[in-house]
Amino acid sequence: MKCVKFEEIKKELNFTISVILGKQNNKDTFKRIIDYQEQIRRDIRDNSVIEIIKLNEFRKAIQDKPEFIYLYPKERLHFSFINLLTFELGDVEFKDAEESITKTKLYEKIKEIMKEIKLKINMPIPAKIKRIYIPKRIENYIECNIFLDDPKLFTEKLKDHYKYTKEKLLQEGIPNKDVKIKAYSNEKEEIAKYKFEYFAVNIFRFLSQKEQILKGWDFLYNKIETINKEIKENPLDFKIHFLDCIISDAYLSNNVYKIDKS
């Protein structure tokens, strides 16, 4: 019997340079992603008692629901390109933390650094969506994987962006331990330490007040395998044209999330 792991809800505030899928001028690809998300949503609805939560219900759900599945709205489908800073919030509400930090000199410094880094990244970046990731056990999310057309060349560029970001933060006296390129490799971690092949776009998150593993999800694995056969036969072309500087919680569920308003 197949299982799904539900992660404990993360309480954090992040500064990232991210890609919002709906802005990228890939209309046909975007429509197909939304269609696959809807197919999976219907399958979960018909085969599971776990509630699927939308954006307008999210804040209440993280307070009082033991577990739930968060369905990313189409306008919030995204992936982080570079993570700059992460603040663990503990018992502090995200809204209060956001309000406090945006009044500081630190915020103004981070904002300018993010805009500078964003301008250094050359566009467009050609890629393809080749699968919905399906591990031996689904843990915390369902994601689409966007594979770079030229991972070798782009890995070198990403390493430069990583180094530059860390140096800029250090020059401004800002901690740089959280800087991370949010790209991944199919190879084992020790082999792929500095190799980047794909980005990950979460379309669902499995969330819980306390981490738990639930059984009875064979139907979900079967559905993803069916979708992946279709994607394998007809990969989705995708070009990254635009980046956004973002302040957000772990799920991009906050109201005003774009720093640069572009």
Task: Please state the domain count of the chain.
Answer: 1
- Residues whose CB is less than 8 angstroms from the CB of residue 203 and which lie 6 or more positions away in sequence, other chains included: 33, 36, 37, 40, 71, 72, 77, 132, 142, 143, 144
CB 202 within 8 A of CB 33: no
Containing domain of residue 82, as a range?
A: 3-248
Average pLDDT over residues 232-244: 93
pLDDT at 191: 47
Task: For residue 169, give the nearest of 215, 110, 122, 221 by alpha carbon.
Answer: 110
In a domain, 42, yes or no: yes
Task: For residue 79, give the nearest of 240, 199, 214, 231 by alpha carbon.
Answer: 199
CB 180 within 8 A of CB 82: yes
In a domain, 256, yes or no: no
pLDDT at 214: 97
User: Beta-carbon neighbour count of residue 38 at 10 Å?
Assistant: 13
Confidence of residue 223 (pLDDT cuts 50, 70, 90): very high
In a domain, 261, yes or no: no
Produce one character per residue of 143-181: b if its CB has 16 or more CB atoms within 10 Å, e if not. Answer: bbbbbbeebeebbeebeebbebbeebbeeeebeeeebeb
Q: What's the pTM? A: 0.93
Give CA torsion, residues 225, 125, 161, 246, to 10 deg: -70
At position 139, the amino acid (one-letter code) is E
Tell me the pLDDT of the chain averaged across its residues: 92
pLDDT at 194: 56
pLDDT at 188: 58
Average pLDDT over residues 178-197: 74
CB 219 within 8 A of CB 160: no
pLDDT one-digit tens code per residue, 141-160: 999 999 999 888 888 888 89
pLDDT one-digit tens code per residue, 28-71: 999 999 999 999 999 999 999 999 999 999 999 999 999 999 99
